[in-house]
Structures are given as structure tokens and as C-alpha cells.
């Protein structure tokens, strides 16, 4: 039974950055109720209601995974590890975005699946076989006509975005070879609980997985987890190594250690999520008070990184032009647009990150290390960063 534990109010689509034209018709902006629940049987954490993927994954999709060095290095590293460990004859990526993972494979050795046409065009142009489709059993059957089976399926920050997980994993079972491996990485519920990072919840993040929950939901597709590792990307993620029920792979030691950790932290108890919800209410109050105090001192505050995550923070805490002068972001197709719901202008760092800025909220807090090392001059001249994870504070 799914029990609601967090109500974040009414939100726009996290990816719905508005153009100058769209901003003139604010009434046309789509809003939905964002609340999160816990399933007492499967232990799955998920949105209480989902948005139609056709509204979200269009040919205007804004996120470019290659906009961060951290992710480029992370995907290069895991690609080499997987090629070495599993020696796949042929691989496939579900949710290939702008090709930041598949670019580490020979073109003939990997197939890309990416429903957002603007992104699929990028990898097609680079010579990769790309299906601009949603991942379904029908697509898996179509691809199996082209290459029979695949030995490695990789999917980062995608499977958690697909409402029908039964369809997703059944489709994987169709295409994966008997001793093939599915590697999934997604934001980890253990990290969300530890960091109070409620901004991992938005329309695209239908699920925030745990080892326990994934193990439960893949069973009916004839799949099982045999290995797992916690990774630091995207604010704390988990990488799941999954195979067919009858496959040769044995449970690894690190899987058992991580599974025991989930039992210790009561990932399977509703009360864990109730206490999280109380911490989030306090986090909101503390962040708004921090902004109010800085504005009382006439400080100039911007946000660093027009992230989908910060769409949740700003619309939950009612942070907009009342506190922020603008948002800076390196992604060209976000510059000149306005943030979803709060309509704060987004400009390039070249234009906006200058000596007039006193404080920068870390919208892209998951890249804190990369950002702090990049912005040494800002810090040296007395500029300060603000974050909300794990607590609202000035860094």
C-alpha cells in the first residue's frame, strides 16, 4: 500500500524553462501536485501521481549530460570498467542524452535509445545507431531483429524516470543475453535521506530507488541484483548490477554490505520517511530565513546552475525574483530563458557571474567540488555560496 509522506505543493515541470514569448502567457504554464509516497510492500519511494512522459521528453529537452566535467569523467570511467569486466559483444544505452556515455564505445559496438528527438539527432549525427523512441517491449523486439541479444545494457538517470517499470524490465529481459548484465545508476534514496535532498523529487524522478525496492520490483521480470556500489554523482547515486534469474553471476560481498546498511537505516520502514518529511519542513523555513536576512542587508543573490532540482527548491520555498536577481548556467539552450514557475531570468556565467554578486545559491550542489574549484576567485574576493543540503547554510 502506498502511503504519502511528503507534500511539496504545486509545481511546474522541472524542465519547462520558458522563452521570452512564453513568459507573456503565464496562464498557459502547466502545474501539478508534487507529493511523494512509500509502498509498504515493495519499499518503493515514488511520486503519488505522475505526468505524461510525452509532456516531459520532447524535442526541446533541456538537460545536456556533457555540461559537467564530473559526469564526463564518471561515464568514461564506468564505460571502461564495464568493457573490461563484462567484455560485451554489443551494448545498448537506455537514455543516451547527448552521447556522453556511448562516446566511450566503438560505434559498431553500441546502440543508443533516446526519446528526445533533439538529443537523438546529436548522437545520430555523430554516427551512433540511435532509436529516438521510448524504451518499451515493442522497441526491444524491434532491436532484437537487428542484433538478436545484447550483453550489456547501461542506463543512468533514466529508469527512475519511467512510470511503467514492469514494461521497462520486461523489455530488458527480452533483449538481454542469458549471461548479459544490466547496469542502472540513479539517485539513491539513502543519500536523499542523509542529505535531506528533497529536490531530487520532481516530475521526471518518478522513483527514487533503494536496493530493497529494486530487488522487489524486478523479480516479476525474471531479473535479480547481484552487485551494487554507491557513487557520488548527482548528489549520491547507487549503481545496480542486474542479471537474469538463471544467470551465472553470484551475489557480491559489497552487495551484502550495502543491503545490511539499508536494514540498519530502516529503509523499509514508513517512520523513516515521516521523520525525513519533518526535516524538510524545517529546511524550507531555514532557507527562506537565510535569504530574508541577506536581503535585509541588501545583498545580491543569484543561483548557480539552472537545475531541475532547483525548480523544486524554488517552487516549494517560494524563492524567485523576491530573492534572486538571476540564475547563471553554462547550457546555451537554457540561457535567455526563464526558470519554471518562478520565471527568474537565466543568463550565461560570462554575463552574470561578476563582482556585483555577493551570494550564489548552489542550484547545482551535486557539482559543489567542481564548482568551488572553478570559482576560487569568487571565494577569494569574499563571495559566498549558499546550500540547502544537508542543512540551509552559507558555505
State the nearest-atom distance from the C-beta of 108 to ligand DWN, in Å.
Answer: 27
Q: Which residues pair with 347 in a beta bridge?
A: 328
State the nearest-atom distance from the C-beta of 90 to ligand DWN, in Å.
Answer: 25
Q: What is the largest CA-CA distance in the chain?
A: 65
Q: How far apart are CA 191 and CA 231, in angstroms?
A: 10
Among 221, 307, 315, 387, binds ligand DWN (CB under 6 A): 307
Q: Are the C-beta atoms of residues 201 and 153 closer than 8 Å to each other?
A: no
Is residue 185 involved in binding ligand DWN (CB under 6 A)?
A: no
Cβ within 8 Å of residue 213, ≥6 positions away: 39, 42, 43, 44, 45, 189, 207
Among 180, 305, 341, 345, binds ligand DWN (CB under 6 A): 305
Q: Are the C-beta atoms of residues 386 and 359 closer than 8 Å to each other?
A: yes
Is residue 239 involved in binding ligand DWN (CB under 6 A)?
A: no
Site for ligand DWN in 125-154 (CB under 6 A): none
Q: How far apart are CA 172 and CA 170, in angstroms?
A: 5
Is residue 63 involved in binding ligand DWN (CB under 6 A)?
A: yes
Among 93, 204, 227, 262, binds ligand DWN (CB under 6 A): 204
Is residue 164 involved in binding ligand DWN (CB under 6 A)?
A: no
State the nearest-atom distance from the C-beta of 226 to ligand DWN, in Å.
Answer: 25
Among 8, 37, 44, 67, binds ligand DWN (CB under 6 A): 67
Is residue 367 involved in binding ligand DWN (CB under 6 A)?
A: yes
Is residue 9 left, alpha or beta, with left meaning phi > 0 and alpha meaning psi from -120 to 50? Answer: left
- 3-state helix, strand and coil shares in percent for the chain, rounded to the nearest 5: 40, 25, 35
State the nearest-atom distance from the C-beta of 346 to ligand DWN, in Å.
Answer: 9
State the nearest-atom distance from the C-beta of 33 to ligand DWN, in Å.
Answer: 19
State the nearest-atom distance from the C-beta of 34 to ligand DWN, in Å.
Answer: 14
Stretch that binds ligand DWN, among 76-84, 101-109, 286-294, 365-373 (CB under 6 A): 365-373
Q: Which residues pair with 94 in a beta bridge?
A: 113
Among 366, 388, 389, 392, binds ligand DWN (CB under 6 A): 366
Q: Residue 270: exposed, middle, or buried by beta-carbon count in 10 A (0-12, 13-18, 19+)?
A: middle
Closer residue to ligand DWN, CB minimum distance, 69 or 138: 69
Binding footprint of ligand DWN, residue count (CB under 6 A): 21
Instruction: List b or e across 162-175, with b for residues whose CB sees 16 or more CB atoms inside 10 angstroms.
Output: beebebbbbbbbbb
Which residue is closest to ligand DWN by CB? 305
Q: What is the dihedral of CA 11, 17, 21, 22, to 10 degrees?
A: -20
Q: Are the C-beta atoms of residues 249 and 181 closer than 8 Å to each other?
A: yes
Closer residue to ligand DWN, CB minimum distance, 143 or 156: 156
Is residue 308 involved in binding ligand DWN (CB under 6 A)?
A: yes
Q: Are the C-beta atoms of residues 309 and 204 closer than 8 Å to each other?
A: no
- Site residues, ligand DWN (CB under 6 A): 63, 67-68, 157, 204, 234, 305-309, 329-331, 334, 364, 366-367, 370-371, 374
Amino acid at each position: 500500500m502506498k502511503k504519502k509522506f511528503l507534500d511539496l505543493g504545486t509545481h511546474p515541470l522541472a524542465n519547462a524553462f520558458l522563452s521570452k514569448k512564453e513568459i507573456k502567457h503565464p496562464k498557459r504554464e502547466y502545474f501539478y501536485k508534487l507529493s511523494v509516497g512509500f509502498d509498504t510492500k515493495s519499499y518503493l519511494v515514488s511520486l503519488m501521481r505522475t505526468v505524461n512522459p510525452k509532456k516531459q521528453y520532447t524535442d526541446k529537452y533541456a538537460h545536456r549530460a556533457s555540461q559537467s566535467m564530473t559526469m564526463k569523467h564518471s561515464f568514461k570511467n564506468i564505460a571502461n570498467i564495464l568493457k573490461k569486466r563484462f567484455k560485451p559483444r554489443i551494448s545498448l544505452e537506455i537514455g543516451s542524452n547527448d552521447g556522453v556515455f556511448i562516446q566511450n564505445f566503438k560505434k559498431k559496438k553500441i546502440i543508443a535509445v533516446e526519446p528526445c528527438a533533439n538529443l537523438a539527432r546529436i548522437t545520430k549525427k555523430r554516427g551512433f545507431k540511435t532509436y529516438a523512441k521510448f524504451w518499451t517491449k515493442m522497441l526491444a523486439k524491434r532491436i532484437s531483429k537487428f542484433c538478436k541479444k545484447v550483453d550489456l545494457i547501461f542506463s543512468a538517470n533514466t529508469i527512475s524516470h519511467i512510470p511503467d517499470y514492469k514494461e521497462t524490465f520486461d523489455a530488458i529481459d527480452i533483449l538481454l543475453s542469458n549471461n548479459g548484465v544490466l547496469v542502472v545508476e540513479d539517485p539513491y534514496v539513502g543519500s536523499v535521506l542523509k542529505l535531506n535532498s528533497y529536490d531530487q523529487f520532481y516530475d521526471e524522478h518518478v522513483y527514487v530507488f533503494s536496493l530493497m525496492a529494486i530487488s522487489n520490483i524486478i523479480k516479476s521480470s525474471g531479473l535479480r541484483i547481484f552487485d551494487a556500489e554507491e557513487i557520488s554523482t548527482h548528489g549520491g547515486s547507487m549503481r545496480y548490477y542486474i542479471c537474469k534469474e538463471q544467470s551465472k553471476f553470484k551475489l557480491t560481498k559489497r552487495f551484502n554490505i550495502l543491503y545490511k546498511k539499508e536494514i540498519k537505516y530502516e529503509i523499509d520502514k514508513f517512520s523513516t520517511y515521516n521523520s525525513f518529511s519533518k526535516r524538510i519542513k524545517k529546511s524550507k523555513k531555514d532557507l527562506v530565513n537565510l535569504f530574508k536576512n541577506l536581503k535585509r542587508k541588501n545583498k545580491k543573490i543569484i543561483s548557480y546552475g539552472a537545475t531541475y532540482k532547483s525548480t523544486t527548491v524554488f517552487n516549494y520555498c517560494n524563492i524567485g525574483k523576491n530573492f534572486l536577481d538571476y540564475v547563471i548556467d553554462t547550457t546555451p539552450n537554457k540561457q535567455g530563458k526563464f526558470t519554471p514557475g518562478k520565471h527568474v531570468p537565466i543568463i550565461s556565467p560570462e554575463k552574470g557571474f561578476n563582482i556585483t554578486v555577493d551570494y550564489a545559491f548552489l542550484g547545482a550542489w551535486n557539482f559543489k567540488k567542481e564548482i568551488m574549484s572553478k570559482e576560487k576567485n569568487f571565494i577569494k574576493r569574499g563571495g559566498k555560496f549558499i546550500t540547502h543540503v544537508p542543512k540551509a547554510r552559507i558555505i
